[in-house]
Each structure stands twice: as C-alpha cells, then as structure tokens.
C-alpha cells in the first residue's frame, strides 16, 4: 500500500510518539505480540516478556504471509505448499536470533525468501526483539520501505530509531537524503546533509553526494520540482577530493560519480557547473595525466557534449571548454567519439553540414586521421542532406565506401554489400556491420532521390540517359584534402568507389547544389 506524506520530515530531533495497537486478522493477532512504544528502556521492559513467548510462532508464520490489497492473511498449516513451510526449517537459520548480528541476518533471510515476506510483517518481527535492535537493522528496514515507496513507514521507523536511543550512522543519513530526494524535497535533503556531522562540504563522503543525483519517483514531481528550479543545486559544488591521495578504486568511484553529476547538470541546463566540475577534476589530477585516468575522464567529457543544448552559443562554449581542458592537461587525447558528440551541437545551427566540415578539418590537422570514423562521416552527411549540400553527402559516401574497400582488401573474407535493398534484415546478413552499413545504403538511396528531383529532365533526356551523380565542387575538394584517405596494409592509397546516381539520367555538370 502506498502512502503519501505531505510536508517535510525533520529527522534531526528526537520525536516521541505512541503507536496505536495494530489490528490483525485471523490468527495473526495470536501470533504477534502487542508492543506499546514509550520513551527509553521502559518500553523495552514492558514488551520484552511478551516477545520471546511468541517468537517461534512468529518466525514460522512470517513466511506464510502474502500481500493483499487491504490486509494480510495467514495461510493455514493444512493449506501450505510443501516448499513454503520448509523455509524456516533450514538448519542454517536459527529458530530464534540470539545476537544483534543474528537478527540482522534473519531479516536478510526473510527479505530474500520466496514468496517475499510482507514489509509490515518484517517490521513486526523486528519489533519482537527490542533488545537485539541496532542501527543496522533499522537501516535495512528503512531501505526496504523506501524501495517499496512506503513513506509513512519510513517516517515511523525513523522515529522508532530515535526512541530506541540508537545513534544514526552514515548509512542512515544516506537513506534520509534518498528519502527526501525521491519525494522531490531537495531542501529537506540538503538540511539532512548540513544537520549531520559533515559541516565542511569539502569532506562530505561520496555516498552522500551520490544521493543528490537521484530523481523524484513520480512524474508530476519530476515535472513540477525540476532540478533547475531549485536554488539548492548551487550548493552542490565541485567534489572536494584530491586525486593525488586516493587509491585506484577510490579514483574510479570519484569519476563514476562525476560522470553521473555531469549528466545531471547538463540535463538540468547547468552547463557551466558541469564544465566547472570537469575543470576542477583535471586541476586536481596528477600531471602529466596517466593513460588510465585519461580513459576515465574522456567518457565524462563525451557525456557533457552529448547532453548539451544544440545551439551556436553552447557550441562555442563547449569548444572553448575543450581547449581549456587541453591547456590544463595537455596529455588528454580526444577521440572520434568526442568529435561526434561535439558535432551534435551544430544540429540546429545554420549550415550545419558546412560547419561540420570546417570543424572536422580543424580537428584533422590537430589529431590526425584517427579522429574521423564512420559515425563522424555519417553525421556530417546527414547535416549536409538537411542543408541541401548533396556534394558533401557525395563526398562522405565516397570516403565511407572507400573505407569498406580498404577493409575488404586486407581481409578478403569480409564482404561489402553492393545492393541498396535486401529481402532479409541487414543484421541477419551482416550481423557485425549490418546496422552501420544499412544506414549508409539508406542515405545513398535518399541521395539519389534528392538528386533526381533537382534535375529538370525532358523526354529527349530519357532516351539518351547516362549515369550521373552530384559533382564535388573545387572548393570542397580543397577543403577535404586533409580528410582520411583509406590505405591498405601495404600503405598504398585505395581508389574510391564511384557512386552512380541513376542509369536513366543524363550527366549534368552540377557544380553546386
């Protein structure tokens, strides 16, 4: 059953409450002890004499409880399946826990039992042993209640934790922050962080920072309480960890958290904060940067580029940020994925195909031919098709098919598709390169259609038809001079494959479309 609690919940003070007597159905009232909560150890003494008497029956009956819409029922012993009653007869599980660790292990066993034990039964079983309760057992129940969206039960367990005079630990604080974040109460989550023992934000553990990257569980909360509308997001500054002093596993954890934070900030529109976080990480990393750390930071940069808004202002800001990253760490090695993600920001700009060509040419001069792959060529071709520059699309097709021919010359077993339409799925015929090649064939067919529609043909032209294709202009040829020219294993350049547009079209000198 799902409960919605209105208003923030204050976990920073002791809250003393008296719970009403639970109502049970059938045999459940005879199996479970009635516990009235008070303040201090008096409540423990009042309920302790009734706890042990019914503990054995409670363990057996807790496995037979299944959740129903409005109440829990107990399956009678004669109606139990043969395998259901055997859960509590396992020799590895004691009949009654004797220590705090035993109670914790028994709760874990009940959580993973099949069928799963109802959450209210787990809480009642936990309350049957007040002298064995610990912060760890409360954390286990609170975590399970948060997972099941039992908000009222989370509040009740948190109050019981204070009433039992148990000190919350780091795991409890993490669960409280998660509870507020899932409800969309960002201010309450931030108060839980400040009310704890971590006043200095530069020494906040990573597990607490990671909880702030969560999302509200309800769609209406995600729409109304957007992260970019909350002022508390400005408090989530750069992580105060020095990569010099962290172990290798800790560095991986920091970078995983940074990647999540970059995605969260970019989706919320806080591009400057994401750039600042990456800038601080590079400044704190040991110089020159190692290859392992470089391989871990580059994906975070790619995520930033792939989540940034698509406009000219953001494109220029990201280009300046990439140059600044290189100035801080000259050992950074951008790859084709970085260029592919950066080209995405040109999607809504004017003349994206021509701008993509110019940007790729600048990166080619700096990084070499390894910076351009099939995805980069395809994105430029799609931008050019959108812009109407069929000559750029033709140039990308020539280079892509030449790349296929170079691969085939090195490995004759690799077959290159020559037909644009297939009776079967492309992934069935070419399982590895099928998806990549089919999109190029579709682009080739689209280029033919666009080129045919742009040519004025007469009846005489149809009678004397010869193959034709968009002609690459002289200026574009000079611009593409630095583009990657595939080579075979001997180092010789491969002759590009000529792409014919149609066998029924008269060749027309088409310098610029």
Residue 115 lies in a domain: yes
Q: What is the pLDDT of residue 15?
A: 35
Count structural domains, the chain: 1
Give me the residue label for tokens 């604080």: 173
Crossing angle between the packed helical segments 336-344 and 352-367, to the nearest 10 degrees: 160
Token representation of residue 397: 């097709």
Residue 326 lies in a domain: no
d(CA 176, CA 194): 12
pLDDT band at 248 (very low <50, low <70, confident <90, very high): low
Tens of pLDDT along 52-71?
Answer: 434 344 333 433 433 333 33
Tens of pLDDT along 143-166?
Answer: 888 988 888 888 889 888 888 888
Rg of the chain on CA atoms, in Å: 33
Residue 104 lies in a domain: yes
Closest CA to 357 of 368, 346, 341, 367: 346
d(CA 421, CA 438): 9
Tens of pLDDT along 266-306?
Answer: 877 778 888 888 887 888 777 777 777 788 888 888 888 88
pLDDT band at 229 (very low <50, low <70, confident <90, very high): very low
> What's the domain range around 26?
1-168
CA torsion through residues 67, 69, 70, 75, sign: negative
Please give the residue that has the higher pLDDT: either 441 or 18.
Answer: 441
Provide the b/e sequence for 175-198 (b: ≥16 CB within 10 Å). bbbbbbbbbbbbebbbbbbeebee
Residue 2 lies in a domain: yes
Residue 149 near residue 2 (C-beta atoms within 8 A): yes
CA torsion through residues 363, 369, 373, 378, sign: positive
Residue 454 lies in a domain: no
What's the 3-state SS for 143-207?
A: HHHHHCCEHHHHHHHHHHHHHCCCCCCHHHHHHHHHHHHHCCCHHHHHHHHHHCCCCCHHHCCHH
Token representation of residue 512: 């610029």
Residue 295 lies in a domain: no
Residue 427 lies in a domain: no
Asked whether residue 511 carries a pLDDT value surpassing 80, the answer given is no
d(CA 49, CA 38): 15
**pTM for the complete prediction?**
0.56
d(CA 153, CA 119): 9
């Amino acid at each position: 059953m799902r409960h919605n609690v209105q208003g923030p919940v204050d976990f920073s003070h002791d809250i003393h409450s008296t719970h009403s007597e639970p109502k049970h159905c059938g045999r459940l009232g005879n199996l479970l002890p009635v516990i009235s909560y008070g303040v201090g150890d008096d409540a423990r003494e009042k309920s302790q004499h009734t706890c042990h008497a019914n503990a054995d029956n409670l363990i057996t009956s807790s496995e037979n409880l299944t959740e129903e819409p409005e109440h829990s029922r107990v399956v009678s012993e004669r109606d139990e399946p043969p395998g259901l009653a055997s859960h509590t007869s396992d020799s590895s599980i004691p009949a009654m826990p004797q220590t705090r660790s035993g109670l914790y292990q028994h709760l874990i066993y009940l959580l993973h039992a099949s069928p799963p034990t109802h959450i209210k039964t787990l809480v009642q079983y936990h309350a049957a042993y007040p002298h064995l309760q610990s912060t760890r057992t409360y954390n286990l129940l609170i975590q399970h209640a948060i997972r099941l969206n039992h908000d009222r039960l989370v509040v009740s367990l948190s109050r019981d934790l204070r009433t039992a005079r148990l000190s919350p630990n780091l795991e409890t604080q993490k669960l409280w922050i998660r509870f507020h974040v899932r409800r969309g109460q960002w201010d309450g989550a931030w108060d839980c962080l400040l009310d704890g023992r971590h006043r200095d934000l530069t020494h906040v553990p990573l597990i607490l920072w990671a909880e702030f990257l969560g999302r509200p569980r309800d769609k209406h909360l995600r729409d109304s309480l957007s992260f970019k509308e909350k002022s508390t997001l400005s408090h989530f500054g750069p992580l105060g960890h020095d990569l010099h002093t962290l172990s290798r596993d800790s560095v991986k954890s920091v970078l995983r958290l940074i990647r999540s934070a970059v995605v969260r900030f970019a989706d919320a529109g806080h591009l400057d904060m994401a750039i600042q976080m990456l800038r601080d990480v590079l400044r704190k990393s040991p110089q020159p940067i190692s290859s392992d750390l470089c391989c871990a930071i580059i994906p975070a940069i790619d995520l930033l580029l792939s989540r940034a808004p698509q406009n000219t202002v953001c494109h220029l800001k990201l280009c300046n940020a990439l140059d600044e990253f290189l100035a801080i760490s000259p050992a950074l090695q951008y790859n084709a994925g970085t260029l592919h993600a950066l080209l995405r920001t040109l999607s809504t700009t004017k003349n994206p195909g021509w701008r993509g060509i110019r940007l790729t040419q600048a990166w080619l001069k700096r990084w070499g031919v390894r910076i351009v792959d099939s995805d980069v060529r395809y994105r430029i071709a799609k931008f050019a098709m959108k812009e109407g520059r069929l000559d750029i699309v033709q140039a990308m097709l020539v280079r892509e098919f030449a790349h296929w021919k170079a691969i085939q010359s090195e490995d004759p077993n690799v077959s290159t598709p020559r037909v644009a339409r297939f009776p079967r799925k492309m992934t069935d015929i070419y399982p590895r390169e099928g998806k990549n090649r089919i999109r190029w064939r579709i682009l080739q067919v689209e280029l033919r259609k666009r080129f045919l529609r742009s040519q004025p043909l007469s009846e005489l032209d149809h009678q004397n038809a010869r193959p034709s294709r968009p002609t690459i202009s002289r200026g574009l040829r000079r611009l593409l001079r630095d583009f990657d020219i595939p080579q075979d294993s001997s180092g010789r350049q491969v002759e590009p494959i000529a792409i014919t547009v149609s066998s029924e079209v008269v060749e027309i000198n088409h310098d610029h479309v």
